[in-house]
């Protein structure tokens, strides 16, 4: 009857897992606009800083899909998320969320059009009839705003390009263009700059062919029913980050921010309108 | 010489099937092979049609040693050897017209053969051949729509269509009723005679052998028991040849070889 | 002299070939599949670069730790999902099987209400298994957020519908004598089931469940592609980032996992036959799901489960969007899906025939081994996974779907084709060789007629499967309805998603009717010849 005993032991194990104790944790996530390992690397020092400032455990929940972050935040699975402009609009449509802060850079964000260097492409017009990659379909800088601006220029992606593809993330778009899988693509300017600085762009393979007009993008948003005092504490912690303090400067650098500034939902009305115009929001 | 066995023997695995077989068939000669079941009649015929390689001695067919031939030469040689099997080896779902046309595959190029599968290129000739076995109306039928006897006659039609210089037949009529059996043997004998082809036929029925063949070869235990003109074969010889054979079920009824193919494999 | 009628099969053959060509021709522009593009310089260079990146497989400690954890999660999800499916399927089977009906057993008249209830339950099962598990997973991921719970729920529902149907059929296929006697003696549904049917049917029930468990593991491994955790999620990321080393490690782990589960399932079948094996199997059957739950629970507890939000989410699907623009889009997507399946199956037929010849041992033992290995590899990697890889080779869109279906189906059909070749009687071909026909001629006249009809039947069956598969391949970017569904769900356009799912169900239903008709005709033809 060892089988029976083992079964019972297993059952006990399962039950004990159910009732183990709980402690206060701030669960944070981010839209996966870059490789998950990169996201974790970027977050680690910020997480440690927040733990110290808030006096509670901060846990990063990795997610591989933009829409999943929206669902997780609006169904209270996570407390705070790094959202793009479009994902923020989606989240505020699907539940109560509060935007806290954004990077100074986010108020005048841009996207970069890139092309494969060997494909003989010098401008957007040369991409007619070629393959083109956006980032994630839910991305603001990788999809929504470039699409919006393209349409303003009279370019309807589905008919202008031979094939419209979604790479899923900004660095993936660069990899696709570099490999020649698609001739052109568009990505977040900040990721582009970072890749250029890190020497991860081979100029023999990828070249810049244009920049979009500026728009509002990313922010840090919490779920609406998060304790108001905690919300304030988080905002304060972000605003306090000082570029003159070397330790905090490192955090800002990883976030690619000169400093954080308060933000409000009204900043993203433009995005909402663009999304409606581009047919991505009904 | 059409067929020469020189002290030929055949060993399959552990069993010695044939030993010390020596015989010669001249061009146009006709001989019947008789003997109890298990005597090695089929194996002898398979040695003659180059399917088996002799383990001892030598076999030469139509003046050539098949085992010295190049592949191409061997195929050309094989095209001149026709075999009627105990049960006609026909794919169940093949159409009669293709089954008969297959008789000339040895003389036809690959491309022509494949195209003929789409559109038979000698339907008239095949139809005439089928007429000789009373199956003219089955030209377009599928083999699995025929009775066992009809299938056997398709197999014979294939050999007639092939028109080989050496015709081998392994109990070709055991699946047919007596009247049809006799007619079929007569037809094969006549065909061989008019084309001056050499004919070696194993038969279960001694009566048929004695009625149609001038030369009778008795095989027992893998060895030649006698090889005599018809006139010299007497009742004692026959009795000695078949001595001890139980009245086995072998070959007396139509051998139903239903080509089975897998069905209903759940994936 | 021409006293024979002309070939009666000529015209039908021409018509059928013409029809096939007519159907196949538009698939090329529809899917944008260009076989030549596979071999053009740029593609080959991209591919070579990516494949070169496969070596060496990634083996740093952090990554390997992640792989091991994900693999365990994948196994746990499959096991827990199957356990849930059994909980769903068993009562459904018990309630709907005709084997327990009083009127079927004793000739009493059926109660109209009971029959109506059963029809309702059967409809529910059709719905549960009609929506592919990956679509269920995607829906739950969108509704419930992250982690492995959506995957378990998806498996539970999709496989629950399947198990319910098959369990009921297995019970129906048992000899009726004992059940009839018990029923006549006044025993109820429970008693007849417990005393007459279950003891007879148990081995078959268990063996089917184990087979499903094998399938569940493959399914659970690809569910990560929609964000439902496990090894698929790692693969998704690595493929997107074009990290060849990680992809090759993950593929190796995946294949090992599939091999291991095949081994376990074979072992459990053997246990089932041994006398003491039953108890061991029963204990394992209890213990493994519990261990799986224990592994998964901490993450679930953390994520929490909110059935209210699930309901709200479900409500948002209504009413389905029926705008003409969307219907036109769906029509295009459905056409693309059909084209992908048709072209993929046709290519697979050719590939399978080419591979089956060496795999059946016709050209030497070395090639036989190699061909078998290749077939197992093609078959072992699910079509969704092939699609994710094919997206790299030929870019996003239906062309990748065609390639994925062609590769996976070549493996499946190739194995079946090789089996029919091995089982076919060898005599006709040997006889033709003996009259001087070359290898190819002898094969085409002696063996091909024997296996041809069987090959066509297999291809038809697989083609039907492939339409269902093609409908979801788009979830990883390979065109068709799936791609539209993925986009709609990513953008939270739920009424659009509802219409797309309905379209998938409709397509699958139409297909079932069509193939049933075709198969009846085929069986009639086969019956006629036997």
CA distance, residue B188 to nearest chain C CA (Å):
18
pLDDT, position C56: 84
Average pLDDT of the residues of chain C: 85
Give the model confidence (pLDDT) of C135-153 as tens digits.
998 888 888 766 788 899 9
Average pLDDT over residues C501-513: 86
Q: How many CA atoms lie within 13 A of B170 on its CB side?
A: 23
Determine, for residues B127 and C4 on separate chains, whether the beta-carbon distance falls below 8 Å. yes
Neighbours of chain C (3+ CB pairs under 8 A): A, B
Q: Which of C437, C439, C458, C462 to mutate to test the interface with B (most CBs of B within 10 A)?
A: C437
- Given a cut of 90, whether residue C352 has pLDDT beyond it is yes
The CATH code belonging to domain C320-530 is: 1.10.3720.10
- Given a cut of 80, whether residue B247 has pLDDT beyond it is no
CA distance, residue A258 to nearest chain C CA (Å):
28
- Given a cut of 90, whether residue B6 has pLDDT beyond it is yes
Give the one of A64, A138, A181 whose C-beta lies nearest to C491's C-beta.
A138
Average pLDDT over residues C84-96: 93
C527 — contact with chain B (CB < 8 Å)? no
Average pLDDT of the residues of chain A: 87
Instruction: Pick the closest to residue C149 from C233, C227, C225 (CA basis).
Output: C227
Cβ-Cβ contacts under 8 Å, B77 against chain C:
436
pLDDT, position B253: 39
Q: Could you say which of 3.40.50.300, 3.90.1150.150, 3.40.190.10, 3.30.2130.30 is the CATH number of the domain covering A112-211?
A: 3.40.190.10
Whether the Cβ atoms of residue B170 and residue B41 lie closer than 8 Å to each other: yes
- Given a cut of 50, whether residue B16 has pLDDT beyond it is yes
Cβ-Cβ contacts under 8 Å, A175 against chain C:
241-242
Give the one of C287, C297, C397 whose C-beta lies nearest to A10's C-beta.
C287
d(CA A261, CA A247): 19
The DSSP code sequence of chain B is --EEEEEEEEEETTEEEEEEEEEEE-TT-EEEEE--TTSSHHHHHHHHTTSSPPSEEEEEETTB-GGGS-HHHHHHHHTTEEEE-SS----TT-BHHHHHHGGGGGGS-HHHHHHHHHS-S-HHHHHHHHHHTT-GGGTTSBGGGS-HHHHHHHHHHHHHHH--SEEEEESTTTTS-HHHHHHHHHHHHHHHHHHT-EEEEE-S-HHHHHHH-SEEEEEETTEEEEEEEGGG--HHHHHHHHTT-----TTTS--------------
Give the model confidence (pLDDT) of C321-343 as tens digits.
888 888 988 998 899 999 999 99
Residue C304's pLDDT band, with cuts at 50, 70 and 90, is: low
What would the two tokens of residue C454 be?
């069987």
Query: In terms of CATH architecture, what is A25-107+216-277?
Result: 3-Layer(aba) Sandwich (3.40)
Cβ-Cβ contacts under 8 Å, C461 against chain B:
267
Give the one of C8, C434, C447 whose C-beta lies nearest to B140's C-beta.
C8
Average pLDDT over residues A85-98: 92
CA distance, residue C355 to nearest chain A CA (Å):
30
Determine, for residues C141 and A182 on separate chains, whether the beta-carbon distance falls below 8 Å. no
- Given a cut of 70, whether residue B30 has pLDDT beyond it is yes
pLDDT, position A23: 61
Average pLDDT over residues A145-161: 91
What would the two tokens of residue C311 be?
């309901």
What would the two tokens of residue A115 be?
């092309």
- Given a cut of 80, whether residue C396 has pLDDT beyond it is no
- Given a cut of 70, whether residue C217 has pLDDT beyond it is yes
pLDDT, position C522: 66
Cβ-Cβ contacts under 8 Å, A76 against chain C:
304, 306
- Given a cut of 90, whether residue C308 has pLDDT beyond it is no
Average pLDDT over residues C103-122: 81
Determine, for residues C309 and A169 on separate chains, whether the beta-carbon distance falls below 8 Å. no
Asked if the domains at C49-316 and C320-530 fall in one CATH topology, the answer is: yes
Least confident segment among A176-190, B23-37, B147-161, C188-202: C188-202
- Given a cut of 70, whether residue A10 has pLDDT beyond it is no
Chain B 105-144, residues with CB within 8 Å of chain C CB atoms: 105-108, 110, 113-114, 117-120, 123-124, 127, 136, 139-140, 142, 144
A228 — contact with chain C (CB < 8 Å)? no
C160 versus C316: the higher-pLDDT residue is C160
Give the model confidence (pLDDT) of A184-228 as tens digits.
999 999 899 989 998 888 888 999 999 999 999 999 999 999 999
- Given a cut of 80, whether residue A31 has pLDDT beyond it is yes
CA distance, residue C384 to nearest chain A CA (Å):
17
Residue A280's pLDDT band, with cuts at 50, 70 and 90, is: confident
- Given a cut of 50, whether residue C344 has pLDDT beyond it is yes
Q: Which of B89, B108, B161, B169 to mutate to test the interface with C (most CBs of C within 10 A)?
A: B89
Average pLDDT of the residues of chain B: 87
Give the one of B83, B92, B117 whose C-beta lies nearest to C431's C-beta.
B83
Determine, for residues C290 and A11 on separate chains, whether the beta-carbon distance falls below 8 Å. yes
d(CA C386, CA C247): 12
C495 to chain A: closest CA residue = A282
**Residue in this structure with the two tokens 């841009």, named with its chain if needed:** A110
**Residue in this structure with the two tokens 């693309």, named with its chain if needed:** C336
Whether the Cβ atoms of residue B130 and residue B156 lie closer than 8 Å to each other: no
Q: What structural domains and CATH numbers belong to chain B?
A: 30-52+65-80+164-257 (3.40.50.300), 84-163 (no CATH)
CA distance, residue C256 to nearest chain A CA (Å):
25
A51 — contact with chain C (CB < 8 Å)? no
Chain B 194-253, residues with CB within 8 Å of chain C CB atoms: none
Give the model confidence (pLDDT) of C460-497 as tens digits.
888 888 988 898 898 887 888 988 898 888 888 889 99
A38 — contact with chain C (CB < 8 Å)? no
Determine, for residues B113 and C530 on separate chains, whether the beta-carbon distance falls below 8 Å. no
- Given a cut of 50, whether residue B267 has pLDDT beyond it is no
Cβ-Cβ contacts under 8 Å, C396 against chain A:
163, 165-166
The DSSP code sequence of A33-56 is SS-HHHHHHHHHHHHHHHHHHHTS
pLDDT, position C229: 81
d(CA A254, CA A243): 12
Determine, for residues C437 and B105 on separate chains, whether the beta-carbon distance falls below 8 Å. yes
Cβ-Cβ contacts under 8 Å, B164 against chain C:
435
The full 3-state SS of A121-167, as one line of letters, equals: CCCHHHHCCCEEEECCCCCHHHHHHHHHHHHHCCCCHHHHCCEEEEC
Residue A74's pLDDT band, with cuts at 50, 70 and 90, is: confident
CA distance, residue B228 to nearest chain C CA (Å):
29
CA distance, residue B3 to nearest chain C CA (Å):
16
pLDDT, position B191: 92
A282 — contact with chain C (CB < 8 Å)? yes
C462 — contact with chain B (CB < 8 Å)? yes
Local structure of residue A209 (DSSP, 8 states): E
- Given a cut of 70, whether residue A250 has pLDDT beyond it is yes
pLDDT, position C268: 84
C95 versus A9: the higher-pLDDT residue is C95
Give the model confidence (pLDDT) of C42-75 as tens digits.
667 767 777 787 888 888 888 899 899 999 999 9
Least confident segment among A29-33, A64-68, B139-143: A64-68
Least confident segment among B87-91, B135-139, C275-279: C275-279
Cβ-Cβ contacts under 8 Å, C279 against chain A:
3
- Given a cut of 70, whether residue B250 has pLDDT beyond it is no
pLDDT, position A184: 94
Residue C412's pLDDT band, with cuts at 50, 70 and 90, is: very high
Average pLDDT over residues A73-92: 91
Cβ-Cβ contacts under 8 Å, A72 against chain C:
145-146
Give the model confidence (pLDDT) of A159-177 as tens digits.
899 888 888 888 889 988 9
pLDDT, position B259: 32
Cβ-Cβ contacts under 8 Å, C142 against chain A:
67-68, 71
Where is A221: in which H helix or E strand? strand A219-223
Instruction: Pick the closest to residue C4 from B236, B130, A220 (CA basis).
Output: B130
Average pLDDT over residues C197-220: 87
CA distance, residue C253 to nearest chain B CA (Å):
25
Instruction: Pick the closest to residue B159 from B188, B121, B128 (CA basis).
Output: B188
The CATH class of the C49-316 domain is mainly alpha
- Given a cut of 70, whether residue C415 has pLDDT beyond it is yes
Give the one of C45, C301, C491 whose C-beta lies nearest to A18's C-beta.
C301
What is the Cα gyration radius of chain A? 21
Determine, for residues B89 and C430 on separate chains, whether the beta-carbon distance falls below 8 Å. yes
pLDDT, position B260: 28
Neighbours of chain A (3+ CB pairs under 8 A): C
Residue A3's pLDDT band, with cuts at 50, 70 and 90, is: low
CA distance, residue C56 to nearest chain A CA (Å):
20
- Given a cut of 60, whether residue A9 has pLDDT beyond it is no
C55 — contact with chain B (CB < 8 Å)? no
Residue C508's pLDDT band, with cuts at 50, 70 and 90, is: confident
Peptide bond into C319 cis (omega under 30): yes
B245 versus A104: the higher-pLDDT residue is A104
- Given a cut of 70, whether residue C305 has pLDDT beyond it is no
- Given a cut of 70, whether residue A232 has pLDDT beyond it is yes
- Given a cut of 50, whether residue A20 has pLDDT beyond it is no
Least confident segment among A206-210, B31-35, C14-18, C388-392: C388-392
- Given a cut of 60, whether residue A24 has pLDDT beyond it is yes
pLDDT, position A17: 46
Q: Which of A1, A2, A3 to mutate to test the interface with C (most CBs of C within 10 A)?
A: A3
Helix, strand, coil in percent for chain A, rounding step 5: 50, 20, 30
Determine, for residues C442 and B267 on separate chains, whether the beta-carbon distance falls below 8 Å. no
Whether the Cβ atoms of residue A278 and residue A116 lie closer than 8 Å to each other: no
Determine, for residues C435 and B139 on separate chains, whether the beta-carbon distance falls below 8 Å. no
Determine, for residues B119 and C444 on separate chains, whether the beta-carbon distance falls below 8 Å. no
* Residue extents of the structural domains in chain C: 49-316, 320-530
**Percentage, residues of chain A above pLDDT 90:** 52
* Residue extents of the structural domains in chain A: 25-107+216-277, 112-211
Average pLDDT over residues A37-41: 83
C355 versus B1: the higher-pLDDT residue is C355
Least confident segment among A118-132, C200-214, C304-318: C304-318
Q: Do chains B and A touch (3 or more CB pairs under 8 A)?
A: no
State pTM to two decimals: 0.81
């Amino acid at each position: 009857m060892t089988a029976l005993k083992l079964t019972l032991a297993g059952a006990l194990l399962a039950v004990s897992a159910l009732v183990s104790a709980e402690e206060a944790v701030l669960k944070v996530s981010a839209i996966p606009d870059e490789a998950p390992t990169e996201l974790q690397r970027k977050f680690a020092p910020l997480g440690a800083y927040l733990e110290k400032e808030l006096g509670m455990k901060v846990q990063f929940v990795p997610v591989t899909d933009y829409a999943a972050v929206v669902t997780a935040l609006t169904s209270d699975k996570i407390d705070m998320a790094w959202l793009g402009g479009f994902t923020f609009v989606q989240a505020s449509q699907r539940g109560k969320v509060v935007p806290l802060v954004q990077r100074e850079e986010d108020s005048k964000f841009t996207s970069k059009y890139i092309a494969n260097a060997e494909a003989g492409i010098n401008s957007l017009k040369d991409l007619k009839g070629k393959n083109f990659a956006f980032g994630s379909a839910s991305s603001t800088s990788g999809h929504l705003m470039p699409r919006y601006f393209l349409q303003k220029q009279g370019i309807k992606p589905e008919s202008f390009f031979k094939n419209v593809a979604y790479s899923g993330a900004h660095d993936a778009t660069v990899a696709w263009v570099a490999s020649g899988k698609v001739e052109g693509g568009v990505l977040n300017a900040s990721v582009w700059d970072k890749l250029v600085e890190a020497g991860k762009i081979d100029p023999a393979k990828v070249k810049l062919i244009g920049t979009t007009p500026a728009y509002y993008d990313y922010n840090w948003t919490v779920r609406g029913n998060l304790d108001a005092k905690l919300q304030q504490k988080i905002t304060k912690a972000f605003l306090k980050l000082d570029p003159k303090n070397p330790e905090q400067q490192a955090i800002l650098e990883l976030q690619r921010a000169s400093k954080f500034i308060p933000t409000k939902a009204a900043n993203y009305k433009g995005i909402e309108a663009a999304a409606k115009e581009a047919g991505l929001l009904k | 010489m059409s067929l020469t066995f020189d002290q030929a023997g055949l060993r399959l695995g552990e069993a010695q099937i044939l030993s010390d077989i020596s015989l010669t068939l001249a061009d146009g000669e006709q001989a019947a092979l008789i003997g109890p079941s298990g005597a090695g009649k089929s194996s002898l015929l398979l040695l003659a049609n180059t399917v088996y390689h002799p383990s001892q001695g030598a076999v030469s067919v139509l003046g050539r040693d098949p085992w010295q031939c190049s592949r191409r030469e061997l195929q050309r040689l094989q095209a001149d050897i026709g075999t009627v099997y105990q049960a006609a080896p026909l794919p169940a779902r093949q159409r009669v017209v293709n089954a008969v046309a297959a008789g000339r595959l040895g003389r036809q190029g690959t491309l022509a053969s494949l195209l003929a599968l789409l559109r038979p290129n000698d339907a008239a000739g095949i139809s005439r051949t089928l007429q000789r076995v009373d199956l003219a109306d089955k030209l377009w039928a599928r083999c699995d729509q025929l009775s066992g006897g009809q299938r056997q006659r398709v197999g014979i039609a294939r050999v007639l269509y092939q028109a080989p210089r050496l015709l081998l037949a392994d109990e070709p009529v055991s699946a047919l009723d007596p009247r049809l059996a006799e007619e079929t043997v007569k037809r094969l004998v006549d065909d061989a005679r008019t084309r001056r082809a050499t004919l070696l036929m194993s038969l279960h029925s001694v009566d048929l052998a004695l009625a149609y063949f001038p030369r009778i070869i008795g095989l027992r235990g893998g060895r030649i028991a006698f090889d005599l003109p018809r006139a010299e074969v007497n009742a004692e010889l026959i009795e000695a040849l078949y001595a001890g054979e139980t009245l086995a079920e072998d070959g007396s009824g139509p051998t139903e070889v239903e080509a089975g193919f897998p069905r209903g494999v759940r994936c | 002299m021409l006293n024979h009628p002309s070939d009666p099969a000529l015209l039908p053959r021409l018509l059928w070939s013409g029809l096939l060509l007519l159907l196949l021709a538009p698939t090329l522009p529809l899917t944008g599949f260009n076989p030549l593009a596979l071999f053009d310089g740029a593609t080959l260079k991209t591919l070579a670069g990516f494949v070169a990146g496969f070596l060496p497989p990634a083996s740093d400690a952090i990554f390997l730790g992640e792989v091991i954890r994900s693999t365990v999660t994948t196994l746990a999800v499959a096991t827990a999902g199957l356990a849930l499916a059994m909980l769903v399927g068993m009562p459904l089977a018990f309630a709907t099987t005709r084997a327990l009906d009083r009127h079927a057993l004793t000739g009493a008249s059926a109660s109209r209400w009971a029959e109506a209830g059963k029809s309702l339950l059967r409809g529910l099962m059709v719905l549960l298994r009609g929506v592919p598990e990956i679509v269920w997973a995607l829906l739950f991921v969108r509704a419930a957020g992250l982690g492995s719970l959506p995957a378990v729920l998806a498996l539970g529902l999709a496989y629950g519908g399947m198990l319910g149907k098959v369990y009921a059929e297995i019970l129906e296929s048992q000899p009726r004598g004992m059940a009839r006697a018990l029923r006549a003696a006044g025993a109820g549904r429970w008693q007849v089931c417990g005393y007459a049917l279950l003891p007879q049917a148990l081995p078959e029930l268990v063996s089917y469940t184990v087979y499903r468990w094998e399938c569940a593991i493959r399914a659970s491994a690809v569910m990560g592609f929609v964000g439902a955790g496990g090894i698929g999620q790692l693969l998704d990321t690595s493929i997107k980032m074009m990290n060849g080393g990680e992809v090759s490690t993950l593929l190796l782990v995946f294949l090992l996992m599939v091999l291991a589960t095949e081994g376990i399932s074979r072992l459990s079948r053997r246990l089932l036959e041994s006398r003491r094996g039953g108890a061991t199997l029963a204990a394992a059957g209890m213990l493994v799901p519990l261990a799986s739950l224990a592994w998964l629970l901490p993450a679930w507890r953390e994520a929490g489960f909110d059935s209210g939000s699930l309901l709200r989410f479900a409500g948002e699907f209504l009413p389905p969007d029926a705008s003409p623009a969307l219907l036109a889009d769906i029509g295009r997507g459905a056409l693309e899906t059909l084209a992908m399946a048709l072209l993929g199956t046709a290519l697979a037929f050719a590939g399978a025939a080419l591979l089956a010849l060496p795999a059946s041992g016709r050209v030497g033992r070395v090639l036989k081994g190699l061909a078998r290995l290749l077939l197992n590899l093609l078959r072992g990697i699910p079509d969704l996974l092939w699609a994710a890889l094919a997206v790299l080779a030929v870019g996003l869109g239906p062309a990748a779907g065609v390639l994925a279906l062609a590769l996976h189906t070549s493996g499946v059909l190739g194995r079946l084709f090789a089996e029919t070749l091995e089982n076919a009687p060898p005599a006709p071909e040997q006889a033709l060789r003996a009259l001087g026909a070359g290898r190819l001629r002898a094969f085409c006249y002696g063996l091909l007629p024997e296996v041809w009809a069987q090959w066509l039947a297999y291809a038809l069956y697989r083609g039907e499967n492939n339409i269902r598969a093609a409908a979801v391949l788009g979830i990883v970017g390979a065109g068709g309805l799936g791609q539209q569904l993925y986009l709609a769900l990513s953008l939270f356009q739920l009424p659009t998603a509802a219409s797309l799912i309905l379209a998938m169900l409709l397509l699958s239903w139409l297909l079932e009717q069509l193939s049933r008709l075709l198969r009846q005709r085929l069986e009639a033809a086969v019956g006629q010849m036997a």
